[in-house]
Structure 1
């Protein structure tokens, strides 16, 4: 047993210090990024935000909606083969990642879909990216799909970030336990403060010309701004995109003035009892559920939330004088704080 005594930080522990700037309006900044991916040399340009590959948020409807903003969606892995093949053969497939785990069926299904539709982006997703088997799967998928951009995770340390990039990942997904419906830290005691994880993993990835995606922990647009400031190339969102028309999930209605009004939607982690009952018949006897099921407020079309997110990022950029999103991490200075907001009238 050993103890690391260095301070590790989360989004709640810091604010971004403003800097003198010549930017006079939010409309003067560019929130898009352009990337050339390490293993494919392919290029992409857009707003580097990704809807999480949870079955509530990782939907085809979400991919169509976010694609209008230049953002991406990691589709959940439970769509049937024929639906995935049809989707990726169409124009909306350019805005999405094909997601899979590490089972033989997952790999077989990817191969089957790839025979009939071009798969340009692949999300290899497991809860524990530290298993040797995961590195082997990344290598196999890279060999089988040499022209696809591969995002793989999740990990929280620089050594495994480097290992995944060397194995064939273009983007490494960062985060263990920070998600709003993830209970891994409570159930297992395992995790790493998300802001420090992003900083350390981004440094490791960028040294190899790889990229990182910050996955989890964002609750407000300011957290997304901090993730970019910490070096994240992409930011993945689950809870912040839940509750919208483009999501899957049960909607709860209430009767108000004689009319049925949507008030809430179900949202759950993919390691929750709800998800495992739906897709695996229940929680296996040798493991514990590491997710929870909640109800989020119904929020209508995702368009409004995207406007709030992109507006927040633009405003942050004007505060620190970053005309382009790629400049943000170079112009960010974090200030440690003990409180962030004045909540005398509530936290909303």
Structure 2
């Protein structure tokens, strides 16, 4: 019989950070070798890392961090490269950004069980928390599978930090305030895809449509990506990503400065002198709306 988990689970849109007494006076105070998890992938990864010794980061691409095969694959990689930092990327979703448990990083993991498994095995430095709220991800629509991002980060961070690991929050951020909430929930890193799409530094040409400049942004499990990188959508699976046109935004520096400015303000409001103090100073309050939308 199916089990229903009735415990409350929250997304970024469901909460705000509560401001607190603060003594602060002013707001002024990854290249990695990527690999799948097959035998041929392992051989290719070895050849890349042997050819480029300075490369110290390994990003393993897998859709489901719960997979026993994936855990065993990470162990194999760890045995071969004991001093490299291992991370996992959620296959089939936007690749513009990501953020993550433990001594290294591995898989799209919504719950505590896999975080603890990978950490206790001492195989993963950074675990990615995402399942899957990305702006060009359609996994929730195609499969009905998912987990609210804020709760995922809180639960994973609780497990990871007890084992001296790190958490990457990947997906769901739509504004600088969401980035602050992810850090406040316990994330050590935050990945951004949609917020960085459309800039000069993103792949793809600037196009003009209806008198406006746009760039394409697509999920890595979209039909667009699979046609480009794998010759099409395999018969055994469905596309789990979309392709969208986003406004051309120019250089990414302006967007990054806006995000950093928002984070500094958050720290000021809650009394965190440093970013790493933010989660210790955070109290979330549930809300019915994020902001006044009269002029939206």
What TM-score, normalized by structure 1, do the two folds share?
0.77
Task: Please state how far the C-alpha of 1:145 moved relative to its aligned partner.
Answer: 1.0
* Counterpart mapping for 1:89-128 below 5 A: 96-117=31-52, 118-128=54-64
Task: Please state how far the C-alpha of 1:255 moved relative to its aligned partner.
Answer: 8.5
Task: Please state how far the C-alpha of 1:104 moved relative to its aligned partner.
Answer: 3.0
Q: How many residue pairs are counted as aligned between the two chains?
A: 275
* Counterpart mapping for 1:335-346 below 5 A: 335-346=285-296
**What corresponds to 1:92 in structure 2?**
none
CA distance in 2, matches of 1:320, 1:99: 38
**What corresponds to 2:257 in structure 1?**
307
Indicate which of 264, 267, 280 corresponds to 1:330: 280
Conservation of the 8 A alpha-carbon contact between 2:116 and 2:160 = yes
Task: Please state how far the C-alpha of 1:105 moved relative to its aligned partner.
Answer: 3.4
**What corresponds to 1:43 in structure 2?**
none
**What corresponds to 1:145 in structure 2?**
81
Indicate which of 175, 178, 181 corresponds to 1:226: 181
* Counterpart mapping for 1:55-66 below 5 A: none
**What corresponds to 1:44 in structure 2?**
none
Conservation of the 8 A alpha-carbon contact between 1:125 and 1:154 = no
CA distance in 2, matches of 1:255, 1:340: 32
CA offset digits 1:305-324 (Å, max 9, x no partner): 11011111011000001001
Tell me how large the CA RMSD over aligned residues is.
1.3
* Counterpart mapping for 1:114-263 below 5 A: 114-117=49-52, 118-151=54-87, 152-167=106-121, 168-253=123-208, 263=213
**What corresponds to 1:298 in structure 2?**
248
Indicate which of 275, 280, 286 corresponds to 2:230: 280
**What corresponds to 1:56 in structure 2?**
none
Task: Please state how far the C-alpha of 1:101 moved relative to its aligned partner.
Answer: 1.9
CA distance in 2, matches of 1:103, 1:308: 40
**What corresponds to 2:90 in structure 1?**
none
Unmatched segments (≥5 aa) in structure 1: 29-72, 74-95, 257-261
CA distance in 2, matches of 1:218, 1:105: 35
**What corresponds to 1:18 in structure 2?**
19
**What corresponds to 2:267 in structure 1?**
317
Conservation of the 8 A alpha-carbon contact between 2:63 and 2:107 = yes
Conservation of the 8 A alpha-carbon contact between 1:221 and 1:312 = yes
CA distance in 2, matches of 1:324, 1:332: 13
SS of 1:235 mapped into structure 2: strand
Conservation of the 8 A alpha-carbon contact between 2:221 and 2:240 = yes
CA distance in 2, matches of 1:282, 1:23: 54
What TM-score, normalized by structure 2, do the two folds share?
0.90
**What corresponds to 1:38 in structure 2?**
none
Which aligned segments of 4 or more residues in structure 1 are displaced greater than 3 angstroms?
none
Conservation of the 8 A alpha-carbon contact between 2:35 and 2:59 = yes
